[in-house]
Amino acid sequence: MKAPIISSWFGRGQVEASPDIESATLRSDRFRLEREGDWKRLEAILVRMEKGGLRRIADDDLIALPALYRTAASSLSVARETSLDAATLSYLEGLVQRAWFQVYGPRQGFLRWLRSFIFGGWSRAVRELWLDICIALFVMVAGTVVGWLLVAQDESWYYRLYPGRMGDPRQPGASREELLQVIGHDEGAAGLAGFAAQLFSNNSGVCILAFALGFAFGIPSLMLLVHNTAMLGALLWLYDGQGLIVDLAGWLSVHGTTELFGILLSGAAGLHIGRAMAFPGKLPVLGSAAAAGRRSAVVMVGVVIMMIVAALLEAFPRQLVTDTGSRFVIGGSMLVFWLAYFILYRPAPQAGDAA
């Protein structure tokens, strides 16, 4: 039988299609017809996922998605091996890439993750660490009391707990005026941006260390909390000796309600991992530690945000606001905000929320 005639514009005349071309065309058409139903179903599912996420997908389609992806990937492999037509090959390559992203790729973009993190994921992760937070809070309060009592009995302890820098007047025997000068009003904001960056670096370093030490069953994390709060207790004792403890508390509250809260959460996150390793329950030790690590990591991302806020508060409002009452208002407002966010703010979890 004579081969069909195919029109050609490469010069005048007509060109007869060869038997090989006709056979390849028939194979390609048959290949497409046999599998096109699965491809179209997969494509329809992908379109709905790309527009509205998993909420727009029926359960049957969601269950079938991995199998449809594997079918498309297998079809692409066959298409490449048998050199099917370029249109089919291009279509399958695009379809498989889109399907891979939905099946194995990241579940959400950064902005969507950030939204789910702030609007529920972070506060929920913090509440899951409630027992560790209670333990860390007890340790911090105990550390403050111990620091005060140690220096009250022996002033030499002050130099061990609070190694002051050269020229720092905050030493036993300092006058009231010298101590007031430290917590006084800065006349301007020049250079405070660099000061904020330095404070963020210092504060975040303490928090990361408290978290990282949790692998040793949480004990080093608790010791770090004791050390930092014992230093605070020694400083409170010093200012109380000159009748300035209220002024110091107001000065510290501006940033301290955020900074100390962040340090508390860091210590609790480290302790959470340590407890999971010491008491893994029904899970293997590594599995329990991994699950605790994921929860603690969410908390630590939030702690970084808190340290940025604390550094800005410490560098600007604390230095520029002179009235003790106003300082208490700022610090108290921040404390109420964090407590309300972590305890009272409980939106219903959504698919893909950070947790």
- Dump pLDDT digits (tens) for 254-274: 999 999 999 999 999 999 999
**pLDDT given at position 2:** 43
**pLDDT given at position 124:** 94
**pLDDT given at position 204:** 73
**pLDDT given at position 6:** 37
**pLDDT given at position 56:** 66
For residue 24, pLDDT beyond 80:
no
Residue 242: CB atoms within 10 A of its CB come to 16
Categorize the per-residue pLDDT at 13 as very low, low, confident or very high, splitting at 50, 70 and 90.
Answer: very low
**CA neighbours closer than 13 Å in the CB half-sphere of residue 66:** 3
**pLDDT given at position 198:** 56
pLDDT-above-70 percentage for the chain: 79
The tens digit of pLDDT for each residue in 214-224 reads 878 788 889 98
Better pLDDT: 20 or 234: 234
d(CA 247, CA 260): 18
- Rounded to a whole number of angstroms, the distance between the first and last alpha carbons of the chain is 69
Mean pLDDT computed over 182-202: 57
d(CA 89, CA 68): 17
**pLDDT given at position 166:** 66
Categorize the per-residue pLDDT at 212 as very low, low, confident or very high, splitting at 50, 70 and 90.
Answer: confident
Mean pLDDT computed over 150-157: 94
Tell which residue, 92, 91, 59, has the closest CA to residue 77. Answer: 92
Residue 127: CB atoms within 10 A of its CB come to 13
**pLDDT given at position 193:** 53
For residue 48, pLDDT beyond 90:
no
Mean pLDDT computed over 184-189: 53
For residue 151, pLDDT beyond 50:
yes
| Annotated domain spans of the chain | 33-104, 111-344
